[in-house]
Amino acid sequence: MAEQYLATFVNDIPDDPRIRFIGELTARLPAGARVLELGCGAGIPGTALLARHHDVLGIDISATQLSLAARHVPNARFRKADMTSLAFPDSSFDAITAFYCFNHIPRAEQPQLLADIARWLRPGGYFLASFGNGASDDTVETWLSVPMFFASHAPAVNRANLSAAGFTLLIDEVV
């Protein structure tokens, strides 16, 4: 599935919004900033773009995805882990990114993960993430021939959860 995902959803996305958002994030960070990428997948394009300028730790639950990421982005570090079970000291990172991964976390667990992310960021740090654009129940569906967990809050709930975790929205955009 990892290779199929890479071929279908990474290599063939014209005008991938991650490229623009990561560029904007990089412009706000000093060179060598510590960046945590949650749900890094195969490392393309997110980890590769971030690792050009920053010290990146990529997290993914899939060993296969991480193997691809290590091959694609040898100058980043990677760890296999469930992002809801991570533990880092407070203020460990200058930025944290989470593209296309919150929709794989049960809705009831998302607020706690946001609180953890806020704690892991240094004061003035940045959180760049994507969320679903509509509410959906926690469910398992077949995706790319594999059973996959999906869940999403409505945008207003995501905004409320971010605010409750202490975040101030700088950019709130539907793409």
112, 128 contact by CB (below 8 A)? no
**CA Rg, the chain, in Å?**
15
Task: Look at residue 6 and tell me whether its pLDDT is greater than 70.
Answer: no
Pick the range with the lowest mean pLDDT from 9-13, 14-18, 89-93, 156-160: 9-13
Tell me if 70 is assigned to some domain: yes
Sequence-distant (≥ 6) Cβ neighbours of residue 38 within 8 angstroms: 59, 83, 96, 97, 98, 101, 117
What's the CATH number where 25 sits? 3.40.50.150
Tell me if 78 is assigned to some domain: yes
Domains in the chain, number: 1
Task: Look at residue 19 and tell me whether its pLDDT is greater than 70.
Answer: yes
**pLDDT tens-digit series, residues 59-111:** 999 999 999 999 999 999 999 999 999 999 999 999 999 999 999 899 999 99
**pLDDT tens-digit series, residues 118-173:** 999 999 999 999 998 888 887 767 656 677 757 989 999 999 999 999 999 999 98
Tell me if 169 is assigned to some domain: no
Tell me if 116 is assigned to some domain: yes
Counting beta carbons within 10 angstroms of the beta carbon of residue 36, is it exposed (0 to 12), middle (13 to 18) or buried (19 or more)? buried
pLDDT of residue 136: 81
**Considering the entire predicted model, what is its pTM?**
0.88
Give 3-state DSSP helix, strand, coil % of the chain, rounded to 5. 40, 25, 35
- When pLDDT is averaged across residues 19-23 and rounded to a whole number, the result is 93
DSSP type of residue 133? S
Tell me if 175 is assigned to some domain: no
pLDDT of residue 141: 72
Q: Where in the sequence is the domain holding 38, given as residue range(s)?
A: 2-164
